[in-house]
Chains A and B, each alone.
Chain A
Amino acid sequence: MSQEEKTARPPGHRFQKRGLSFDGAIKYFFASNAGLTIVILILIIVFLLKEGLGFFPGYRRELEIYRVAGLEFVDISRKNLTAQEQLTSLLNRAYFAEINGKSAREIRRTQEASALFNAYTDQIGATRDLVVNNTQEGSHPNPQMMATLMANYEKQKTKALSSLPATPHLTESERAALIDSIRGRAVDATEDPPLVAKLAEEYAAAQQKHAEPLQAVRATIDTFESSGSELSGLISEMTETVTATKAKLSEADLLEKDRKTLLAAAASAKDPAEREKLTAEAHASLAEIPDTEGPIQLLLERRPACIEIHEKLRQAASGIPSQLPADFSQPEANRLLGVARKAWPVFLSDLGKTPAEINSWKHDKPVALTTAIGSFLTGKDWVTGGEWQDFYGILPLAAGSLMISIVALVIAIPTGIGAAIYVNQFASPWEQSTIKPVIEFIQAIPSVVLGFIGILVFGTVLRDLSMSDSLSWVPGFPIEERLNIFTAGCLLALMSIPTIFSLAEDAINNVPGAYAEASEALGASRIQTTFRVIIPAAFSGILAAILLGLGRVIGETMVVLLVAGNRIKIPDFTSGFGTFFQPAHTLTGIIAQELGEVPLGSVHYRALFVVGIALFAVVLAINATAHRFVNQMKH
């Protein structure tokens, strides 16, 4: 086949003059189609780069305005204020965790009673409103109609009463009394049933009782909370000035851009009159360069006051830890207190560094392109469409993608590979012929369907499960958010199991039979043969399977967009294992969510393309490594 055969060309064939036969033309036609794949790949790279690379100069200009207008200066103080607020909130949470932990019994009872009552009112609400509305508005309602309405109401009431939620913390008699009081309610009654009110009172009393010994703590927290007020006043004052300057600068930039467009249009216009007009317009729209020096000087004059306020805050804050109790009685409160204690020295040392930072800050220090690139790669905030300043930092998204992948792989690797080993080595032929198609069929489920199941069914089931008392020992339970890293990870695990399973099964299957025979001939058991001979021989193939599964997980969009919770924040690692139950956002999710809403050509639009480039690079690297392992296996 390799030999190119020569067919006699009919004389006068149309391609003959150019030395190209009909067959040759067909060959080139097919070759050009094969070349299409290269063209597509190149186009993908070129267009990603074309849209993406414009991001960095644009972002640099935004950072420059951020600095020149003085927003950066204000942010030095804002950072400290945020830290102070976070610490306050930690202390408050610890305080309330302590009180609520001690009055847990009362809380549960109140919650259960009101949940039961709410479930009832939710169900009868609509029919009840009808009855009440008709009696109030029409003074002489049609009696027949009223009868129908009342019958409807009674029917709904019976139905609602028969489907009330469980109340494990209420005694039998309490529950019966509550249901009785609900059943006996007048149609237009608005007050709570007696038991609900009584339990609420009990709860309030318990809270007060447990708050009593904590008065000193409360006072300490309040002192700390109020110590930030001076700083916050200063910041809001400065904010006004700097945002005005920033707005002027951005406007000037826009005008300048318009002017350039007009000049370009003038240069290409054919009609001289038209050109005159465009040029005149361009000159007219010449932006006056806004005065930045004045406002900045005003800002810089505040330096001493600013430093003084920081000093005061530091002095106020340094005494707080010694006034806090050594430990609380509730584990959750203790944990939060521990986190606050650990963060305290960092907070104080940050405050200590602030004066130097304020003094050394220069508004006219140029922003380098590398700064823009660096702050994109290591930025901890992805803030867009805000009033203050847009930041494009990829870290929160990468962290979200990574955490979700970790959860998915931790679940999918053992199950997927275990299933592959079982099916290939231990399963009966019947099991083989049923399990394999079922697992391969999972691969055919479109990801949006899995996302749908996650958002409507799985997330709710998982949260309800985490509420039960018997599982409260699991770290991170009960889950606060229905949609979180763990939910998304579980569904992605289900998506990647078929990939890992079939590739790993192939790899195990490809191990030469002689290996197993030799091992068994030496007297090894089946388990020994499998785990000491076959798995090591198939190891690089299995590694490739894992990597390709990882590639699939990182590149998946719809499931994470629907199920991960879409909160753009680096997960709070202080909560230990509970970190996995926080919402997150991912590299793929952000593109899908924001691309439809951004203006074309804006910095934000380009930022999404840069995220696309990052994703493309990561997935290609993973796949290339995987294929290297596959090739290793062949040799």
Chain B
Amino acid sequence: MSHPDKLIRKGLPKGHFKDVAVRFLLGGGTYFIVLIAALLFGKIIVDGAPVLFKAEAPFVDFDFLTAKNQTLHVFDDAQGTRHQLPASEYSEYLKKNEGKEIFNEQSYSYSGGGIAGPIVGTALLTVGSMIIALFFGVCAAIYLSEYAKQSPFIHAVRLAILNLAGIPSIVFGLFGFSVFVLAVPVITAAPSDRSLLVIPLLIGDYVMSFQGWNSSLMAGCATLACMILPVIITASEESLRAVPQGFRDASLAMGATRWQTIRKCVLPFSLPGILTSSLLSIARVAGETAPIMFTAAVAAKDDLPWQGLKSPFDLLSSQVQALPYHIYTLAARIPNSEYTQRAQFGSVFVFLLLVAFLSAGSMILRAKLRAKLKW
């Protein structure tokens, strides 16, 4: 009986219309949000998908994903045919057609070629920061969940985590800039002028100079790691606490030490959960722009990060392109025209696809894990 009050009273219940109106209003608002979200995704998909996908096999325009980013030159030749060439092909064209005139030439920076540089840079930044954040984050979570008792220290740690989680990303940008770019110690033979402090190491000419890592992949990773640390700690701690207490008690009863218990009986069971929730943090790290604007990202770079390096360490101390910063540049610095739309909507589409995969993957994995792990 879905309407028990009908048994008692005939007709519509009192206040029925008010009831319907309120429901309609609330539901309308809810579906309005959903509609806006759908429109937003729709616009990006409609304009972005044709850049990445093609009608004929192999259906995906791999050039867009693997080519370097270049300036796009748009011009007419004497026959009135319109050419759109990225910088490298443009110079070839000029060489081949020497002496011929071209008309109506316009160039659009960042709009030609593909987005390999930003994709690779984002991947490097994400992987680097996740390695740092996962290491420190999981260790901190182990302490909080396995060792910690009520103490002023724990209280301070919890307060710090809570506060770190609320700090705006641009403040992390300021922090990363003043600490990792300008102040962390490096070991070098030739300290910079603006070094804060120089400590002689007594090995050759080497000194420890507090001069920072400059704007580099390393500084960007460290900044992002600091930003994501509270999220990782909270998620890992939740995952560790989900392991039943009985596991630990049994292990300790068998005479295992605390560390053996953690290593053999807690970590293996909580690791899938930790990794799943960190997938969501990866999506967040990949999407951040403000913290890397001054610490790692560069708008235009000719080489991929590993090209032209003398030692592998140069990779860490070089600037990289990054997808979010690339999108910022595309949106803020170049006009919107039919020639720049390919780069603009294509980049956004790829970026959104990436983030969507990461977050959807984490949601699905989490659901599966919850279903599987029943203690």
Binding site for B on A (CB under 8 A): 1-2, 5, 7, 22-23, 26-27, 29-31, 33-38, 40-41, 43-44, 47-48, 50-51, 126-127, 129-130, 133-134, 145, 148-149, 152-153, 414-416, 418-419, 421-423, 426-427, 435, 437-439, 441-442, 444-449, 451-453, 455-457, 494, 497, 501, 525-527, 551, 554-558, 561-562, 588, 591-592, 595-596, 600, 608-609, 612, 615-616, 619-620, 622-623, 627
What are 10 inter-chain pairs, A to B, with CB distance below 8 A?
Answer: A2-B149, A29-B139, A37-B230, A126-B104, A133-B103, A418-B30, A427-B30, A449-B327, A494-B33, A627-B162
**How far is B292's CA from A557's CA once the two chains are assembled, in angstroms?**
12
A612 CA to B175 CA, complexed, in Å: 9
Smallest beta-carbon distance A545→chain B, Å: 14
Residues of B within 8 A of A130 (CB): 76, 78, 80, 103-104
Within 8 A of A (CB), among B54-85: 76, 78-80, 82
| Besides A457-B43, A622-B166, 15 other A-B contacts (C-beta < 8 A) | A1-B245, A2-B149, A31-B143, A33-B140, A40-B160, A50-B178, A130-B76, A130-B104, A441-B37, A441-B359, A452-B331, A557-B173, A588-B170, A616-B167, A619-B171
Residues of chain B contacted by A37 (CB below 8 angstroms): 140, 157, 160-161, 164, 229-230, 233
Contact yes or no, B324 A446, CB < 8 A: yes
Tell me the complex Cα distance, A453–B173, Å. 23
Chain A residues near B156 (CB, 8 Å)?
Answer: 38
Of the candidates B157, B161, B249, the one having the most CB atoms from chain A within 10 angstroms of its own CB is B157
- B136 pairs with A33, CB closer than 8 A: yes
User: Does B188 lie at the interface of the complex (its beta carbon under 8 Å from any beta carbon of A)?
Assistant: no
B86-94, B281-289, B301-309, B310-318: which one contacts chain A?
B281-289
Residues A439 and B34 in contact, CB atoms below 8 Å apart: yes
- Chain A residues closer than 8 Å to B257, beta-carbon distance: 7, 22-23
Contact B348 A623 (CB under 8 A): no
Quick check: B163 and A41 within 8 Å, CB to CB?
A: yes
- A127 and B32 within 8 A (CB): no
List of A residues within 8 angstroms of B26 by Cβ = 418-419, 421-422, 426
With A448-B327, A588-B170, A608-B174: A419-B29 Cβ-Cβ less than 8 Å: yes
Residue B293 is within 8 A (CB to CB) of chain A in the complex: yes
CA distance A419 to B352 in the complex (A): 25
B168 engages A588 (CB within 8 Å):
yes
* A448 and B287 contact, CB distance less than 8 A: yes
Pairs A-B, 10 closest by C-beta atoms: A555-B168, A446-B287, A33-B139, A30-B143, A422-B26, A623-B166, A419-B30, A34-B140, A418-B29, A37-B160
B160 close to A453 (CB less than 8 A): no
| Known contacts A43-B179, A555-B170, A609-B178; A592 and B136 CB within 8 A of each other | no
Q: Is B332 an interface residue (CB 8 A)?
A: yes
Contact with A along B1-33 (1 / 0, CB 8 A): 000000000000111001100110111011011
In the complex, are the beta carbons of A148 and B327 less than 8 A apart?
no
Q: How far apart are A8's CB and chain B's nearest CB, in angstroms? A: 10
Q: Assess whether A1 is in contact with B248, with CB atoms less than 8 Å apart.
A: yes
A41 touches B258 (CB 8 A): no
CB-defined contacts of A2 to chain B, threshold 8 Å: 149
B127 vs chain A, min Cβ distance (A): 18
Q: Does B290 contact A (CB under 8 A)?
A: yes
User: Is A48 in contact with B175, judged by CB distance below 8 angstroms?
Assistant: yes
**A448–B229 contact, CB under 8 A?**
no
- B144, B157, B245, B283: the one within 8 Å of A38 (CB): B157
A36 to B157, CA, bound (A): 9
Q: In the bound complex, how far is the Cα of B171 from the Cα of A554, in angstroms? A: 12
Determine the residue in chain A with the shortest Cβ distance to B162.
A627
Q: Closest CB of chain B to A131's CB: distance in Å?
A: 8
Q: What chain B residues lie within 8 Å of A555 (beta carbons)? A: 166-171
Contacts of A627 in B (CB 8 A): 162
Cβ of B177 < 8 Å from any Cβ of A?
A: yes
A364 shortest CB reach to chain B, Å: 36
Chain B positions 337 through 359: 1 when the CB is less than 8 Å from some CB of chain A, otherwise 0: 00000001000100110011001
> What distance in Å separates the Cβ of B63 from its nearest Cβ neighbour in chain A?
22
- Once the chains bind, are B294 and A595 in contact (CB under 8 Å)? yes
CA distance A423 to B283 in the complex (A): 26
With A2-B149, A37-B161, A456-B344 in contact, do A448 and B103 touch (Cβ < 8 Å)?
Answer: no
Q: Tell yes or no: B330 within 8 A of A by CB.
A: yes
Query: Smallest distance from the beta carbon of B76 to chain A beta carbons, Å?
Result: 6
Given A37-B140, A422-B26, A444-B355, A452-B348 contact (CB < 8 Å): yes
Chain B residue contacts of A44, Cβ below 8 A: 167, 171-172, 175
A152 contacts across to B, CB distance below 8 A: 80
Contact A34 B79 (CB under 8 A): no
Residue of B nearest to A130 (CB): B80
Closest Cβ–Cβ distance, residue B279 to chain A (whole Å):
11
Chain B: minimal CB distance from A24 (Å): 9
Q: Which residues of A contact B172 (CB under 8 A)?
A: 44
Give the nearest-CB partner of A43 in chain B.
B179
User: Pick the contact of A149 from B29, B80, B173 — CB < 8 Å?
Assistant: B80
Q: Do A595 and B174 form a contact, CB below 8 Å, given A30-B139, A456-B336, A557-B290?
A: yes
Chain B residue, CB-CB nearest to A444 = B359
Among candidates A1, A47, A448, residue contacting B178 with C-beta atoms closer than 8 Å: A47
- How many angstroms between the C-alpha atoms of A5 and B146 in the bound complex? 13
* Whole-angstrom distance between the Cβ of A129 and the nearest chain B Cβ: 7
Contact with A along B178-192 (1 / 0, CB 8 A): 110011000000000
Q: Which of B166, B179, B286, B293 contacts A551 (CB 8 A)?
A: B166
Give the chain B neighbours of A623 by CB distance below 8 A: 162-163, 166
- Give the distance in Å from the alpha carbon of A49 to the alpha carbon of B146 in the complex: 35
Is there an interface contact between B226 and A40, defined as CB atoms closer than 8 Å?
Answer: yes
Contacts A437-B363, A449-B351 given; does A619 touch B168 at CB 8 Å: yes
A117–B257 CA distance with the chains assembled, in angstroms? 85
Is B203 engaged at the interface, CB distance under 8 Å to the other chain?
A: no
Is B375 among interface residues, defined by CB-CB distance under 8 A? no
Q: Which residues of chain A have C-beta atoms less than 8 A from B144's C-beta?
A: 34
Contact A26 B259 (CB under 8 A): yes
| Contact partner, B175, options A7, A47, A133, A525, Cβ 8 Å | A47
**Residue of A with least CB distance to B363:** A437
> Quick check: B290 and A592 within 8 Å, CB to CB?
yes
User: Judging by beta carbons under 8 Å apart, are B44 and A453 in contact?
Assistant: yes
Contact with A along B126-150 (1 / 0, CB 8 A): 0000000000100110111011110
**A45 vs chain B, min Cβ distance (A):** 9
Q: Is the CB of B23 within 8 A of A426?
A: yes
Q: Do A23 and B143 touch across chains, with their CB atoms under 8 A apart?
A: no
Q: Which residues from A are CB-within-8-Å of B33?
A: 415-416, 419, 439, 442, 494, 497, 501
Once A5-B258, A494-B36, A527-B15 are accepted as A-B contacts, the answer to whether A446 and B355 lie under 8 Å apart by CB is: yes
Residues in B neighbouring A133, C-beta threshold 8 A: 103
Residue of A with least CB distance to B249? A1
Inter-subunit contact B174/A527 (CB<8 Å): no
Kindly provide the distance from the CB of A453 to the nearest chain B CB, expressed in whole angstroms.
6
Q: Is the beta-carbon distance between A455 and B170 smaller than 8 angstroms?
A: no
Chain A residues within an 8 Å CB radius of B264: none
> Given that A149-B80, A435-B30 are known contacts, is A442 also in contact with B37, CB under 8 Å in the complex?
yes
Smallest distance from the beta carbon of B264 to chain A beta carbons, Å? Answer: 14
